[in-house]
């Protein structure tokens, strides 16, 4: 499907289905809308009246137009009050339009929406994201998909002529979001540490990035005892993935993105009980999936920033080789950890990944992880927790998130709570009390960072959606690829 920017007006456009955005205060049929209404023999006026269409944000009305008309169907989309219109609202509006066009089996779609913030490039970009993300469907695991591929062939963005560049940039970001969705949605018998490493290698060879996979022996040499402790029980080899994008010329900044890459989390010997969602734990590589998704987008967008994409990929399993509750592990910075709960495994893998990232002498490190159920309880499904040692970095991520339409809420690094992680026998335990569980997890990670500005994103909620929500369909969301990419570009 192709999205095209055009200066064709709603009056001149011909095709299957035309979507027109209307503000609550813009329902009087005047100007161009009156001309279009006249051309369609009064259809718009009738549709507004019959459906009691008020232009409320998120509302839609669809009808067939007389057979002699140059367009076959029309969609009216409510945009709410003009003063409240934001880029993310436009992204969601475009998603809603795309879903209707798909349902109506349209081949050609024309979209007429206002320009937000007087920024036509950004408007074209968010509309593009909304359309592609809403239409993405994952038929990989069905022998006969019930939901056939959408028939949509072309989408014309009316009044956005000259904005093809914005569309193309958005499509690069979308390709990364979709890669992340597909990695996260694939089950643990399909996406393994081995295939994650292969995906990194594919991105590297396709887009000219450099990649290094540290095998188990390499990780042993690096002293990554925390990561390897988690990996011990699995029959699959652990893979420590390090993908690097290097711009031409001197990089303006050097950044590292570190994603939790548990291709399955059984809990280990502290095995997850029934009702704990063990069957959803294929999504525990959501951080790594988004890291590779961001790599794919950034490799195409080519910013003047050096970016390291890192993931310590493994499974948390049980076997005669499994780490025991009570084992003491030594991380690559020399710190010792008493594993009082084998289900708090993500932080153990991240510990060594963060130490590795800091050795690269980058200007900032961001990790992202489906780290705690506690964060999901605190912030719900739509919002990720954000912790940072650096207010400037936190502000950068918040503003990238705003542009991206992804939600974060900053949480405290309350040092006092680290008392709950004190071990009588090692430098720390890996689990504290139930209360404040997402905060103690963040404080644990902080032990593996010396002085590089660092932010931690606990994405346990937003990586997966049980139902259609905005630009997301039910299933893996690809969160927070858009924020990561916009952060790197900022
Ligand atoms: N992968 C889980 C966290 C998780 C829970 C992600 C629900 C997505 C949805 C993590 O490894 C885990 O098991 N965390 C434990 C920590 C506890 C043992 C301190 C948890 O949150 O229960
Ligand atoms: Mn776990
Ligand atoms: Zn986990």
CATH number, position 102: 3.40.220.10
Instruction: State how far the Cα of 359 lies from the Cα of 231, in Å rounded to an integer.
Output: 22
Domain final residue pick, 160, 180, 203: 160
* Structure token pair of residue 217: 């022996």
Asked if residue 462 lies in contact with residue 480, where contact means CB atoms within 8 angstroms, the answer is: yes
The predicted pLDDT at position 149 comes to 72
Residues 57, 20 share a domain? yes
Q: Is the CB of 345 under 6 A from ligand 1?
A: yes
Domain final residue pick, 106, 140, 160: 160
Question: For the chain (length 490 residues), average pLDDT per consecutive 10?
Answer: 97 96 90 92 95 96 90 97 96 98 96 97 98 96 80 96 98 98 98 99 98 98 98 98 98 99 98 94 99 99 98 98 98 98 98 99 99 98 98 98 98 98 98 98 98 99 97 98 98
Residues 156, 209 share a domain? no
The predicted pLDDT at position 133 comes to 98
- The ligand minimizing its distance to the Cα of 325 is 1
* Total domains present in the chain: 2
The predicted pLDDT at position 442 comes to 99
> 166 in a domain, yes or no?
no
Residues 176, 249 share a domain? yes
Domain containing residue 382? 171-489
Where residue 322 sits, what CATH number does that domain have?
3.40.630.10
- Is the preceding omega at residue 480 within 30 degrees of 0, hence cis? yes
Residues 405, 258 share a domain? yes
Which ligand 1 atom is nearest residue 441's CA?
Answer: 19
Residues 358, 282 share a domain? yes
* Structure token pair of residue 142: 């069905």
Q: Mutation test of ligand 1: which of 263, 339, 343 has the most ligand atoms closer than 8 Å to its C-beta?
A: 343
Residues 250, 111 share a domain? no
The predicted pLDDT at position 236 comes to 98
Residues 355, 241 share a domain? yes
Distances in Å between the alpha carbon of 285 and those of 109, 183, 458?
36, 8, 12
Q: Is the CB of 346 under 6 A from ligand 1?
A: yes
Q: Is 347 a catalytic residue?
A: yes
Residues 179, 140 share a domain? no
Instruction: State how far the Cα of 324 lies from the Cα of 337, in Å rounded to an integer.
Output: 13
Q: Is the CB of 263 under 6 A from ligand 1?
A: no
Q: Is the CB of 284 under 6 A from ligand 1?
A: yes
What separation, in Å, do the N-terminal and C-terminal C-alpha atoms of the chain show? 29
The predicted pLDDT at position 68 comes to 82
Instruction: State how far the Cα of 412 lies from the Cα of 387, in Å rounded to an integer.
Output: 6
Residues 396, 316 share a domain? yes
> 48 in a domain, yes or no?
yes
> 165 in a domain, yes or no?
no
Domain final residue pick, 108, 129, 160: 160
């Amino acid at each position: 499907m192709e999205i095209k920017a055009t200066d064709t007006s709603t009056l001149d456009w011909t095709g299957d289905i035309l979507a027109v955005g209307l503000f609550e205060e813009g329902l009087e049929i005047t100007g161009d809308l009156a001309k279009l209404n006249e051309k369609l023999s009064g259809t718009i006026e009738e549709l507004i009246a019959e459906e009691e269409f008020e232009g409320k944000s998120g509302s839609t009305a669809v009808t067939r137009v007389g057979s002699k008309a140059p367009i076959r169907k029309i969609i009216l989309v409510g945009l709410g009050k003009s003063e409240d219109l934001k880029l993310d609202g436009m992204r969601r509006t475009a998603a809603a339009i795309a879903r209707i066009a798909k349902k109506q089996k349209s081949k050609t779609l024309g979209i007429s929406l206002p320009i937000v913030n007087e920024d036509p490039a950004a408007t074209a970009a968010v509309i593009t994201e909304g359309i592609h993300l809403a239409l993405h469907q994952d038929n990989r695991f069905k022998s006969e998909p019930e939901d056939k591929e959408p028939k949509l062939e072309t989408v014309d963005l009316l009044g956005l002529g000259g904005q093809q560049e914005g569309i193309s940039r958005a499509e690069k970001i979308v390709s990364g979001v979709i890669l992340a969705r597909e990695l996260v949605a694939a089950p643990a018998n399909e996406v393994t540490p081995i295939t994650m490493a292969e995906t990194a290698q594919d991105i590297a060879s396709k887009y000219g990035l450099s990649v290094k996979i540290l095998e188990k022996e390499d990780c042993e040499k690096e002293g990554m005892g925390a990561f390897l402790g988690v990996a011990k029980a699995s029959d699959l080899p652990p893979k420590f993935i390090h993908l690097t994008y290097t711009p031409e010329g001197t990089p303006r900044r050097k950044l590292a993105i570190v994603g939790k890459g548990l291709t399955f989390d059984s809990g280990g010997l502290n095995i997850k009980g029934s009702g704990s969602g063990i069957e959803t734990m294929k999504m525990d590589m959501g951080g790594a999936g988004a890291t590779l998704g961001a790599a794919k987008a950034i490799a195409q967008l080519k910013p003047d920033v050096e970016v390291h994409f890192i993931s310590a990929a493994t499974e948390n399993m049980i076997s005669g080789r499994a780490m025991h509750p009570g084992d003491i592990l030594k991380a690559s910075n020399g710190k010792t950890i008493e594993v009082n709960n084998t289900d708090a495994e993500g932080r153990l893998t991240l510990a060594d990944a963060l130490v590795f990232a800091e050795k690269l002498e980058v200007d900032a490190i961001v990790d992202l992880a489906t780290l705690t159920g506690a964060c999901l309880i605190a912030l719900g499904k739509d919002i990720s927790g954000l912790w940072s040692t650096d207010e400037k970095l936190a502000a950068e991520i918040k503003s990238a998130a705003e542009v991206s339409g992804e939600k974060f809420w900053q949480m405290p690094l309350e040092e006092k709570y680290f008392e709950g992680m004190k071990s009588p026998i090692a430098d720390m335990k890996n689990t504290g009390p139930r209360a404040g569980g997402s905060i103690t997890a963040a404080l644990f990670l902080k032990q593996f960072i010396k002085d590089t500005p660092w932010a931690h994103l606990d994405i346990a909620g937003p990586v997966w959606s049980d139902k259609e929500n905005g630009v997301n369909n039910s299933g893996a969301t690809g969160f927070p690829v858009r924020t990561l990419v916009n952060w790197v570009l900022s």
